[in-house]
Structure 1
Amino acid sequence: MNMRKSRRFFCAILIILFSLSLLSAAEEAPWYIGKRIASFSNTGLQNVDESTILDIQYAYLDEPFTDELFNELQGELYALDYFSYFLAEAQRTGEGNNELEIVMDFYELPYINQVAIEGNTGIKTKNIEEVLLSGEGTFLQEQNIERSKEEIRKLYEEKGYADTEISSSYEIDETTNTVSLVFTIIENKQKRIGEITFEGNTTLASDQLEKQLFSKTISYFNSGYYNPSTIETDKQNLITFYQSNGFVDAAISEVRTEDISREDDEYTRLRVIYQIEEGEQWKFGGIEVEGNTVFSDEQFQDLISMKEGAVLDISRVQKEIEAVTDLYWNNGYIFNLISSDMVRDEENKVITFILTVQENQQAIVEDIRIEGLTKTKPYVFERELTFSRGDIFSKEALIRSAQNIYNTLIVTDVQFDIINGSEEGTVVPVYTVVEGNQMDIQFGATFGGNVDGFPVSGFLQWSDKNLGGTGRDLAITTNLSPDTQNFSISFTDGWFKDYRWSNGLSFNFERSKKQSVLQRGIGSEYYTGHDVAILEDNAYPLGYDSYLSYLAADKALPANSDLMSYLYYRISLGYNTGYTFMFRPGSLTVGGGLSIGLNYADYNHSVYDPYERLIKLYGDSWKFSNRLSLSFAWDGRDRIENTSKGYY
Structure 2
Amino acid sequence: MKRSIGAVLFLAVLSVGIAAQPAADWYLGKTIKDIEFSGIKRVDRNELNSAVQAYKGKVFSESLWMDLQATVYELDYFDQISPIALPGDAEYSTVIVKFTVTEKPWIETVRVDGARGLRPGEILGAALLKSGDIYNQAKARADEKAIRKLYMEKGYADATVTSFTEPGRGENSLVLVFQVSEGSQLAIQEIRFEGNKALAASSLKSKLSLKEQGLFQPGLFQEQKLEADRNQIENLYQSRGFVDARVVDILRELNRDEGAQKTRLILTFVISEGDQYSFGGLRFSGNSIFPNEKLAALVRSKEGTILNYPTLLADKQRIEDLYYENGYIFNRIEMKERRDPDSRVISYTLGITERDRAHIENIIVKGNKKTKDHVIFRELPFEVGDIFSKTKVITGLRNLYNLQYFSALTPEMVPGSAENLMDIIITMEEQSSADIQFGLTLSGIGASTPEFPISGLIKWNDRNFLGNGQSVSVGVTASPDTQEVTLGFSDPWLFNKRMTGSVELSFVHKGMQALQDSLGPVFAYGDPAAVPDPYTSWAEYEAAGYVVPDEYYMDYEYWNLNLTFSLGYRFIFPVGTLGLSGGVRFGLTNQSYDQALFRPFSESLASSAGDWINSNSLIFRTYMNALDLWYDPSKGYFVSQKFTWAGLFDFEQDQFLRTDTKLEGYVTLFDIPIGEDWSLKWVLGGHTGLSLLLPKPGSTLSATDNSKLYIDGFFVGRGWRNLTESTFGGTLLWENWVEIRMPLVKQFLSFDMFLDAATVRTDQGLLTFKDGVTGSLDPSKTSLFDLGFENLAFSLGAGFRFTIPQFPFRFYFARRFFMNGAGRFEWATEGMEFVISITQTTL
Q: TM-score, normalised by structure 2?
A: 0.52
Q: Does 1:385 align with 2:381?
A: yes
Cα contact 1:490–1:507 (8 A) shared by 2: yes
1:391-410 to 2 correspondences below 5 Å: 392-409=387-404
Give distance in 2, aligned partners of 1:435 and 1:165: 29
Partner of 1:415: 411
Q: What is the aligned counterpart of 2:230 among 232, 235, 240?
A: 235
What amino acid does structure 2 have at the position aligned with 1:519?
Q
Q: What pairs with 1:31-110 in structure 2 (closer than 5 Å)? A: 55=41
Q: Which amino acid aligns with 1:202?
A: K
TM alignment of 1:265-280, pairs within 5 A: 267-280=262-275
Q: 2:486 aligns with which of 461, 466, 488?
A: 488
| 1:325-355 per-position Cα deviation (integer Å, ceiling 9, x unaligned) | 3333344444544333223233333333322
Q: Are positions 1:557 and 2:550 aligned together?
A: yes
Question: Which of the numbers 566, 586, 606 marks the counterpart of 1:616?
Answer: 606
Q: Report if the CA contact (8 A) 2:40-2:102 is conserved.
A: no
Give the equivalent residue in structure 2 for 1:65.
Answer: none
The yes-or-no answer on 1:598 pairing with 2:598 is no
Q: What letter is aligned with 2:352?
A: V
Deviates more, 1:581-590 or 1:370-379: 370-379
Deviates more, 1:125-134 or 1:606-615: 125-134
CA displacement 1:9-51 (0-9 Å, x = unmatched): xx99x99xxx9xxx9xxxx969xxxxxxxxxxxxxxxxxxxxx
Determine if contact 1:524/1:540 at 8 Å carries over to the other structure.
no
How far apart are 1:126 and its partner, in Å? 8.0
Shift in CA distance, 287/639, structure 1 to aligned 2, threshold 3 Å? farther
Letter in 2 for 1:488: T
Q: State the identity as a percent.
A: 26
1:461 alignment partner in structure 2: 460
| Change beyond 3 A, Cα 1:115–1:554 | closer
Match in the other structure for 1:3: none
Structure 1: runs of 5+ lacking an equivalent? 1-7, 31-52, 60-67, 86-103, 447-454
The correspondence of residues 161-560 of structure 1 with structure 2, limited to 5 A, is 161-163=156-158, 185=181, 187=183, 190-258=185-253, 267-363=262-358, 365=359, 369=363, 371-372=365-366, 376=372, 378=374, 381-382=377-378, 384-385=380-381, 389=385, 392-409=387-404, 413=409, 415=411, 417=413, 419-420=415-416, 427=421, 430=424, 432=426, 434=428, 436=430, 440-442=434-436, 459-465=458-464, 469=468, 471-479=469-477, 484-494=482-492, 500=498, 502-522=499-519, 523=521, 539-541=531-533, 548=540, 551=544, 555-558=548-551
Deviation of 1:568 (Å): 1.4
SS in 2 for 1:619: coil
Could you list the runs of 5+ residues in structure 2 that have no partner in the other structure? 18-38, 46-64, 81-100, 168-172, 441-453, 639-843
Answer yes or no: is the 8 Å Cα contact 2:106–2:133 preserved in 1.
Answer: no
* Compared CA separation, residues 485 and 539, structure 1 to 2 (3 A): same
- Alpha carbons of structure 1 residues 286 and 643: separation in structure 2 relative to 1, 3 Å: farther
Distance 1:627 1:247, change over 3 A: farther
SS in structure 2 of the partner of residue 598 of structure 1 = strand
- Shift in Å, 1:200: 1.3
| Distance verdict in 2 for CA 1:632–1:292, change over 3 Å | same
Separation (CA, whole Å) in 1 of partners of 2:582 and 2:355: 49
Matches of 1:131 and 1:411, distance apart in 2: 19
Matched, 1:607 2:606: no
The answer to which structure has the higher strand fraction is 2
Letter in 1 for 2:544: L
| 8 Å contact from structure 1 (residues 580, 588) kept in 2 | yes
**1:282–1:151: structure 2 CA closer, same or farther, 3 Å change rule?**
same
Kept in 2, the 8 Å contact 1:475–1:489? The answer is yes
C-alpha separation in 2, matches of 1:503 and 1:171: 53
Q: Deviations over 1:541-566 (max 9, x none)?
A: 35x666737938964311xxx55333
Distance (whole Å) between structure 2 residues aligned to residue 308 and residue 441 of structure 1: 59
The 2-side partners of 1:263 and 1:491 are apart by 65
TM-superposed deviation, 1:210: 0.6
Paired AA for residue 573 in structure 2: F
Amino acid at match of 1:512: H
- Give how far 1:221 is off: 0.6
Q: CA deviation at 1:273?
A: 1.5
- Residue pair 1:438, 1:464 contacting (<8 A) in 2 also: no
Normalising by structure 1, we get a TM-score of 0.65
Which residue does 2:561 correspond to in 1? 571
Specify whether residues 280 and 477 from structure 1 end up closer, same or farther in structure 2 by C-alpha distance, changes over 3 A only. Answer: same
Check whether the contact 1:527–1:540 (CA below 8 A) recurs between aligned residues: no
| 1:440 CA drift (Å) | 2.3
* Residue deviations 1:191-245 (CA, integer Å, cap 9, x gap): 4323222111111221111111122222111122233333333222222332333
Q: Distance in 2 between matches of 1:541 and 1:622?
A: 27
Q: Matches of 1:414 and 1:171 in 2, distance apart?
A: 33
Aligned partners of 1:436, 1:170: CA distance in 2, in Å? 28
Q: Secondary structure at the match of 1:300?
A: helix
SS at 2:267's partner residue? strand
SS at match of 1:215: coil
Q: Do the aligned residues in 2 keep the contact of 1:244 with 1:315 (CA within 8 Å)?
A: yes
Q: Deviations over 1:495-544 (max 9, x none)?
A: 577874x444444332414155443242355999xx99xxxx562235x6
**Equivalent residue pairs, number:** 555
Which letter maps to 2:460? Q
Residue 608 and residue 465 in structure 1: after superposition, are their counterparts in 2 closer, same or farther (change >3 A)? farther
C-alpha separation in 1, matches of 2:416 and 2:575 = 30
CA 1:246–1:168 in 2, change beyond 3 Å: closer, same or farther? same
Separation (CA, whole Å) in 2 of partners of 1:637 and 1:361: 34
**What is the CA distance between 1:305 and its match in structure 2?**
2.9
CA distance in 2, matches of 1:588, 1:136: 45
Instruction: Measure, in 1, the Cα distance between the counterparts of 2:616 and 2:176.
Output: 74
Contact 2:482 2:511 in 1 (8 A): no
Check whether the contact 1:438–1:466 (CA below 8 A) recurs between aligned residues.
Answer: no
Higher helix share: 1
Q: Do 1:521 and 1:545's aligned partners in 2 also have CA atoms closer than 8 Å?
A: no
Q: Do the aligned partners of 1:467 and 1:473 also contact (CA within 8 Å) in 2?
A: no
Note closer, same or farther for the CA distance 1:111–1:495 as it changes in structure 2 (3 Å cut): closer
Distance 1:251 1:334 in 2: 32
Moved more, 148-157 or 516-525: 148-157
Q: Which amino acid aligns with 1:557?
A: D
Does the Cα contact within 8 Å between 1:411 and 1:433 map onto a contact in 2? no
What is the rounded CA distance, in whole Å, between the counterparts of 1:143 and 1:334 in structure 2?
32
Q: Distance in 1 between matches of 2:292 and 2:536?
A: 86
Map Cα deviations across residues 344-399 of structure 1 (whole Å, 9 max, x no partner).
23333333332222334445x4756454576546387347525774x655443444
**What displacement does 1:458 show?**
6.8
For residue 44 of structure 1, what is the aligned residue in structure 2?
Answer: none
Q: Which of these two proteins has the greater Rg computed from alpha carbons?
A: 1
| 2:740 aligned residue | none
